[in-house]
Structure 1
Amino acid sequence: MTKRFIIAIIALIVVAGGLIGFNLFRDKMIAGFFASMKPPVVTVSTSTAAPIKWEPGIETIGSALAGQGVDLSTEAAGVVREVPFSANDRVEKGALLLQIDDRSERADLESAQASLALAQTELERAEALQKRGVSSANTLQTAQASATAAEATVAKLEAAMETKRLTAPFSGTIGIPQVELGQFVTAGTPYATLQDTTTMRVDFSLTEQQAPLVSAGQAVVVTSEVGDVSAEGKIIGIEPKIDANSRLVTIRASVENPGGLTPGQFLRVRVVLPAEEGVIALPQTVVASSLYGDSVYIVREDKDEEGEAILKAQQVFVTLGRRSGPLVEIVKGVEAGDKVVNAGQNKLYSGATVLIDNSVSPDPQSASAATQTEDTAADAPAAN
C-alpha cells in the first residue's frame, strides 16, 4: 500500500514538473519570437513644413441685401385702375407701376388751372394799369395774391395726383403684385417689392475683439451655401457702436453680384487681413489632439540594427496659432524642412518605422509633387 502511494506521488510530481517546464519553455519561445520580430512598416503620407505667405482672415456669416431694395406701398387711398407690371419684370426708373383712380383730383385740377389762368390775366391787367397810373397799389397787390393762391392750389392738386400715380424710384426687378384691378386700397398698402441686385450689400457681425482688425475699404469674400456662388467686395461701413446685448459690431460690405446672389440669402463671409511672410503653416489633418496637448509626427532618418538607413516617426508636441481654411499655423515645435505626417497617424507610435507614399496625400501640394515624381520616373529611359 505504501509503495503504491509513493509511486502515485512520484508520478504526480513528474506530470506537474512537465507541465511547468512546458509552460516556461513556451513563454520563453514566445518572448524570444516577439523580441526578434520586427514591427511592420507603416505607410504614411507627409507634408513638408516650409515658410509660406500667410493670408489670415476672419470667418463669419452674413445676410445678403440688394444694393437698392424697397417694399413699395401706396401713398393715398383709392381704387386700383391699372397695374402695368408682371412679376419679375425689369423696370426702369420712373416707369409707371400702379395707377389709382384720380378722376376727382383731375377734375379739381382742371378747375384750379382755369382759376390760375384767370388770376394771371387779372394780374397782367393790374400791372398794366399800375404802369399807366390809373390803378391803385392795393388792386395790384390783391391780383398778385390771387395769382399766388391759384398757383399753390394747382401745385397741391398736382401733388395729390402724383400720390395716385406710383412710379419706380430706381431701376430694378419688380416682385409679385400684391394688389388687383378694382381693389380699394388704403394709404400704406404694400403692392410690390423692387430690388436692384446688380450690386449686393452684405451685413455681418464681428466680436468686439475682431472689430478693431477691420476698416473701411478692406477686402471681403462671400460664398453662398446654395449653388456655390462666390463674390469679392469691400467693406463700406462699420457701425460706430457695440450692441450692448450681443457684444457684436455690425459691418456692411458691398460686392458685385456675379449672378446667383439673392436678397435675404445666407452667406459665409471671409474678411481678408494683411498677408504675412515666413509663417510655418500645415494642413490641419497633421495635428492630433489629446489630454496631453497637440502633437504631430515628424519623419526623420535613422539606422536599424544592421546599420541600414530607415525612416522613423517621432511624436512632437507643438503650439498652434491661427487657422485659415484648411491650414493651421505652427508657432512652436516644427522647423522648416520637417516632414510631417498628414495621413496614417492612427497606426503610428513614437519610433515606428514608416514608408512615405504621397500619392494619396490629403495635402494637394504633396500629392501633386508625388504625381510629378511618378510621371518623371515613367518617362525616364530604361537603363541598358
Structure 2
Amino acid sequence: MKKAFVIVIIGLLIVFGGIFGFKAFVNSKIAEAMAHMPKPVVTVSAATAEIAHWHPQLRAVASLAAVQGVEVSPQIAGNVTAIRFHSGQYVQAGTPLVQIDDSTQLAQLASDQAQLRLASSNLQRTKELIATKAASQAQLDSAQATYQTDQAAIKDIQATLNKLTISAPFSGYLGIRQVNVGQYLTPGTKIVDLQSWSPLYANFTLPQSDLKNIQAGTPVQIQTDALPGQTFSGKVTALGSAVNSTTRQIEVQATIDNPKNQLRPGLFGELTVVRDTTEKVLVIPVSAISYNTFGDYVYVIHKEKKDGKTQETAVQQVIKPGKQRDGMVEILSGLKQGDTIVTAGQVKLVNGSLVTISHDA
C-alpha cells in the first residue's frame, strides 16, 4: 500500500515538473525573442524651449463697483400716487421716477401765492404813501418784511414739492421696482436701485511689497467668469492713503472701460496689473508638463547615433515651473533654451523610449 502511494506521488511530481518546466522553457524563448526585437518607436509632438519677453504682472481679486450708484428713496413720508419708470430702464438725470402725494402741499402753495400777491400790493401801496409822507418808514419796513417772508414760504413749499417728486439724481440703469402705487413710504424706504455702468471702479488690494510697482495710470486688465474669454482694460486711478496695519495690504482702485455695458457692479474677477517693464523668461507649452507625487517633469528629446543611425530618445527631466500665461509656462530650472520637449503623446512614454516627432499641424 505504501509502495503504491509513493509511486503515485512520484508520478505526480514528474507530471507537474514537466508542465512547469515546459512553461519556463516557453517563457525563456519568448523573452529571448523579445530581447532581439527592436524597441517600438512612439510618435509624439514636440516644441522647443524658448525665450519670451513678458511684462511682469501683479494679480489680485477685484470687485466691481459703480462710479455712481444709489438706492433711490424718499426724503418725506407719503403715499405713492404715480410710478413713472419701468424696471431695468435707462434714465437720464432728472427723470421723474415716483410721485408722492402732494395735494396738501399744492393747496398750501396756492395759499402762499395769494399771501405773496397781497404782500406785494401792500408793499407797493406803502412805497407810494411814503413818497407823499402819508406812511412812516416803520410801515414800509414792515411791508417789506412781510413780502420777503411770503417769498420764503413759497420757496419752502416748492422745495417740499420737489422732494415729493422723486427724480433720478444721475443718468444710469434702474434695477427692480420695490414699491407700488398706493404704498405708504417713509424716509429711507428703498424704491429702486440706480447704477451707472460705464465706466466702473475695480477695487482690490495688494501687499505692501508691491507698492513700488504701482501708481496712478498703471494699466490693468480684468477677467470675470461671468463673461469667459473676454478681457476688459483700464488704469489705476487711486491708491489708499495708508497701508492696513493688520493685513499689510494697500487698497487700490482702478477705472475699467465698459463700452458695451457688459459688466455689472458687484461682479468680481481676476485683475492683472501690467507693468511697463519686460523680463526674459524661458517658456514651454503647459501641455508638455507631467505631474506626479515626486514633482513636475517633462520628456526631453535627445538625439544619439547607434549603428550609424540617428535615434531620438525621450528622457524624463524634473523641472520647476513658474508663472503661466496664454498657454505657456515659465521654467525656473531644469531646462535650457533650445531643448526639445514632448508636448503630446507622453502617456505612451517611459524613460528612454524611442520617439519620432510628428510634424503634422
Instruction: Report the TM-score range of the alignment, normalised by the length of the smaller protein.
Output: 0.7 to 0.9
Q: Which runs of 5+ in 2 are unaligned?
A: 1-10
Partners of 2:285 and 2:328 within 8 A in 1: yes
Alignment match, 1:215: 215
Cα deviation code 1:141-183 (max 9, x no counterpart):
4344333333322222111111101111112222333222222
Residue 190 (structure 1) aligns with: 190
The answer to whether the Cα contact below 8 Å between 2:197 and 2:264 also exists between their aligned partners in 1 is yes
Q: 1:240 to 1:45 in 2, by over 3 A?
A: farther
What's the CA shift string for 1:14-66, capped at 9, x where partnerless?
99999999788667645544443332112221121221221343444433333
Where in structure 2 are the equivalents of 1:123-202 lying within 5 Å?
Answer: 123-124=123-124, 137-202=137-202
Aligned partner of residue 161 in structure 1, secondary structure = helix
Going from structure 1 to structure 2, the CA distance change for 1:277 and 1:266 (only over 3 Å counts) comes to: closer
In 2, are the aligned partners of 1:220 and 1:235 still within 8 Å (CA)?
Answer: yes
2:262 alignment counterpart: 260
Cα deviations across residues 110-153 of structure 1 (Å, max 9, x unaligned)?
Answer: 22233334444544555666677776554444344333333322
Q: Report the Cα distance in structure 1 between the residues aligned to 2:18 and 2:99, rounded to whole angstroms.
A: 113
Partner of 1:297: 299
Counterpart amino acid of residue 197 in structure 1: W
User: CA offsets per residue over residues 71-116 of structure 1, 9 Å max, x none?
Assistant: 1111111121211222223322111111111121122222223333
Please give the alpha-carbon distance, in whole angstroms, between the structure 2 residues aligned to 1:275 and 1:40. 48
Q: Deviations over 1:303-359 (max 9, x none)?
A: 12x120111223333333333343221123322222111222333344321111253
Residue 98 of structure 1 aligns with which residue? 98
- Match of 2:233? 232
Q: In structure 1, how many angstroms separate the alpha carbons of the residues matched to 2:312 and 2:342?
A: 12
Distance in 2 (CA, whole Å) between partners of 1:89 and 1:194 is: 10
Please, what TM-score do these two structures have when normalized by structure 1? 0.76
What's the secondary structure of 1:149's corresponding residue? helix
RMSD over aligned Cα, in angstroms?
3.7
Task: Please name the residue that 1:7 is paired with.
Answer: none
Name the amino acid aligned to 1:41: V
The equivalent residue for 1:8 is none
Distance in 2 separating the partners of 1:27 and 1:165 = 97
2:317 counterpart of 1:326: no
8 Å CA contact retained: 1:57, 1:324: no
Moved more, 189-198 or 261-270: 261-270
Q: Displacement of 1:70 after TM fit?
A: 1.6
Between 1:135-144 and 1:291-300, the stretch displaced more is 135-144
Q: Which residue in 1 is equivalent to 2:42? A: 42
- In the aligned structure 1, how far is the partner of 2:319 from the partner of 2:227? 38
AA matched with 1:115: Q
Quick one: which amino acid aligns to residue 53 of structure 2? K
Q: Could you tell me whether the CA contact under 8 Å between 2:56 and 2:279 is conserved in 1?
A: no
Among 269, 272, 296, the residue aligned to 2:271: 269
Shift of the 241–43 alpha-carbon distance from structure 1 to 2, 3 Å rule, reads farther
Secondary structure of the 1:108 match is helix
Q: Which residue of the partner structure matches residue 66 of structure 2?
A: 66
Q: Identity over aligned residues, as a percent?
A: 33
Contact kept, 8 Å, 2:312 with 2:355, in 1: the verdict is yes
Aligned to 1:379: none
Question: TM-score scaled to structure 2, two decimals?
Answer: 0.81
Instruction: Summarize the Cα distance change of 1:131–1:342 in structure 2 as closer, same or farther, 3 Å threshold.
Output: farther
Does 2:348 correspond to 1:351?
Answer: no
Contact 1:51–1:277 under 8 Å retained in 2? no
Change (3 A) 1:129 1:201: same
How has the CA–CA distance of structure 1 residues 102 and 119 changed in structure 2, closer, same or farther, with 3 Å as cutoff?
A: same
Q: SS where residue 88 of structure 1 aligns? A: coil
Native 8 Å contact 1:45 1:343 kept in 2: yes
Gap change, CA 1:291 and 1:193, over 3 Å in 2: closer
Contact 1:282 1:327 in 2 (8 A): yes
Instruction: Pick which of 127-136 and 43-52 moved more.
Output: 127-136
CA distance in 1, matches of 2:239, 2:205: 10
Distance 1:51 1:135 in 2: 100
Retained in 2: the 8 A contact 1:219–1:233? yes
Task: Rate the CA distance shift 1:90–1:271 in 2: closer, same or farther, 3 A.
Answer: same
Distance (whole Å) between structure 1 residues aligned to residue 24 and residue 290 of structure 2: 41
- Call closer, same or farther: CA 1:321–1:267 in 2, change over 3 Å: closer
- What residue number does 1:342 align with? 343
Preserved contact between residue 320 and residue 331 of structure 2 (Cα < 8 Å)? yes
The aligned runs of 1:13-28 (5 Å cut-off) are none
